[in-house]
Amino acid sequence: MNRLQKNKFLYSLTVTISSLILSLFVNRGFLIIESVVGEEYKNIMLSDKFESFGRLGHRLLTPMLSRLFEDIFIFNLLVLAIWLFYITYHLYDKYEQITLTLLIFSITTSQIILFTLNFGFYPDPLTVLLSTISLFNIEKNNLFVFLGILNLINNEIGFFIILFLVLVSRDFLKKIPYFLITIFLYLIYRQFINLFIKNESSGITTYLNELKNFELDFFMLFGVFAGMKFLFVLFLTSEKSLIIFTYLLFYILVPLNMAVDYTRYGSLLVIILIWILKSESFKFKDHIKSFAILVLVLNIITPKYYIWGDQITYLRDSKLHFFDITGKNFQERGISN
């Protein structure tokens, strides 16, 4: 390893560790909230037979890999650390070190990291990691298909992330056949796995039927914002805002209409930000450091909103989060001291 590579490695490792520590500070440590969905993933990890996997048994990649650690939360923390190291390492040559550090910090003070510190058993970190690796190797078609299948086995929401990767590929028309191959192979997988598990309530037709009950309300839009928080500022500074707006509109109208966990799925839109950072497509490149500082500060001083359906919850709230954009004061949010 030459000196440049060594510096790059050490810098990426330092930023990764520092950003995770910052996340713990902003989140006030970690305290896993028990949830029905989270328990289902734990059940998959602990079960020895397909028949007992339950309705989410087709999403088995994270639970199965977590068996190496006997804990999904520990596995997810490791995945997040690998992801942060990966994006820092691969963006090292594109930005000044202080600018890149601020950009990574602005990411880690959002729900992309904080969600796992509160709901530790979901498969989202692996979805983000696989999607990011695909993005940085987007022209390698065989790898695109392989990672795409893994992404879908981890969580079928990966379909919409893969679709974004196709949209932003250099020649998206040539990428479409590989996208279709990925979907075809996944459908074969679903046909096979459905022979062993009962997942009528999480079947493909069930999700498609949800689209008939079309809704677009404040909670859906605020949930998307809550998933990314002020990282949306960086979206607005991109030179490719039309692509971003079109995809966001599609994402809100389709996948978000098939779910109620708006904050969680909103956080997966970080793949758009990684694409912007990778392509350096900023209108105000000379001021990107200032934008990163703004995003970081706003992420820290605002509460951690979590929107499920029509419910807004404040996760591990404190007076550190003194700027509530919903207009609530400390007493209204339940902070009395």
Residue 86's Cβ-count burial label (10 Å; 0-12, 13-18, 19+) is middle
* Residue 329 domain flag: no
In angstroms, rounded to a whole number, what is the distance separating the alpha carbons of residues 49 and 328? 48
* Residue 123 domain flag: yes
Domain containing residue 211 = 3-314
Task: Give the chain's domain count.
Answer: 1
Q: For residue 21, give the H/E element and its range.
A: helix 3-26
* Residue 115 domain flag: yes
> Tell me: the pLDDT tens digits for 54-68?
888 899 999 999 999
* Residue 232 domain flag: yes
pLDDT at 185: 96
* Residue 279 domain flag: yes
| Across 250-265, average pLDDT | 90
pLDDT at 39: 93
pLDDT at 200: 64
Report pTM: 0.94
* Residue 215 domain flag: yes
Residue 284 has pLDDT above 80, yes or no: yes
Residue 202 has pLDDT above 80, yes or no: no
More confident residue, 131 or 204: 131
* Residue 336 domain flag: no
> Tell me: the pLDDT tens digits for 299-322?
999 999 999 988 999 999 988 899
| Across 22-34, average pLDDT | 92
pLDDT at 336: 62
Q: How far is CA 327 from CA 43, 88, 191, 308, in A?
A: 40, 35, 49, 19
Half-sphere exposure of 308 (CA within 13 A, CB side): 6
